[in-house]
């Protein structure tokens, strides 16, 4: 698992102010177990509090932007094209990539842990989750079209159920184990997905 140490240093001066503020906010949230003050973020970013408000409007806006950035990178990772002779093979590879992303990104533990129930995160996650459920529904529909999944499944409901279940499983795994075995966790997530959708494991 990647170490969060690199994220706790000041961001590079070569990065844009917005990028430095996002990186500084992630670092401050990780260092302070989900807490962050605008002054501390600005100092870490090497900029002023005024510029932080100029770019994001408020602390809530800044935290929401960090969450949205996390899920944008997550979506890019898990919606890559995966190879496999069947829908199940491709989706198993996708579930492994999903677990790898959460274990390798040092911000994931803070996002799913102490920060997870803050109003800023809940609101930002709701928007991100709606987009992810739509993509999951398209994926499930593709499995139905190939004849590998039950055509009676509601793709959107099934996608929401799977994503919610996987998120909760990862939250529990990261809370109880500093270094969970990624293959064991990936296998558990795939079993959850496959059994939910009635796919061959």
What domains appear along the chain, each with residue ranges and CATH number? 4-61 (1.10.10), 62-197 (1.10.357.10)
**What pTM was estimated for this model as a whole?**
0.85
Alpha helices in 6-58 (DSSP H): 17-31, 38-45, 49-56
The pLDDT value recorded for residue 27 is 96
> Which class for 148: exposed (0-12), middle (13-18), buried (19 or more C-beta within 10 A)?
middle
What DSSP state is assigned to residue 200? Answer: -
Q: Is the dihedral of CA 137, 112, 59, 104 positive or negative?
A: negative
Give 73's contacts (C-beta < 8 A, 6+ positions apart): 101, 105
- Which has the closest alpha carbon to 95: 79, 106, 109? 79
Euclidean distance between the first and the last CA atom of the chain, given in angstroms as a whole number: 26
Q: How far apart are CA 47 and CA 198, in angstroms?
A: 52
The pLDDT value recorded for residue 169 is 92
Q: How far apart are CA 65 and CA 60, in angstroms?
A: 9
Q: How far apart are CA 186 and CA 98, in angstroms?
A: 8
Query: Where in 79-154 does DSSP place strands (E)?
Result: none
What DSSP state is assigned to residue 8? Answer: G
The pLDDT value recorded for residue 61 is 92
The pLDDT value recorded for residue 13 is 57
pLDDT in tens, 9-47: 455 555 699 999 999 999 999 999 888 999 999 999 999
The pLDDT value recorded for residue 179 is 84
Positions in the chain short of pLDDT 70:
1-15, 201
The pLDDT value recorded for residue 200 is 73
């Amino acid at each position: 698992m990647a170490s969060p140490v690199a994220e706790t240093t000041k961001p590079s001066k070569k990065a844009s102010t917005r990028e430095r503020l996002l990186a500084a906010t992630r670092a401050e949230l990780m260092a302070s177990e989900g807490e962050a003050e605008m002054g501390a973020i600005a100092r870490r970013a090497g900029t002023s509090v005024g510029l932080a408000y100029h770019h994001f409007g408020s602390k809530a806006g800044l935290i929401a932007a960090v969450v949205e950035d996390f899920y944008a990178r997550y979506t890019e990772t898990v919606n890559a094209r995966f190879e496999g002779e069947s829908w199940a093979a491709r989706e198993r590879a996708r579930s492994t990539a999903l677990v790898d992303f959460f274990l390798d990104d040092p911000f994931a533990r803070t996002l799913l842990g102490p920060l997870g129930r803050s109003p800023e995160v809940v609101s930002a996650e709701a928007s991100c989750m709606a987009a992810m459920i739509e993509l999951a529904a398209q994926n499930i529909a593709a499995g139905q079209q190939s004849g590998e999944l039950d055509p009676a499944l509601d793709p959107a409901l099934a996608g929401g159920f799977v994503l919610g279940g996987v998120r909760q499983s990862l939250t529990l795994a990261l809370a109880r184990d500093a270094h969970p075995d990624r293959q064991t966790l990936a296998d558990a997530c795939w079993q959850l997905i496959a059994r939910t959708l009635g796919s061959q494991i």
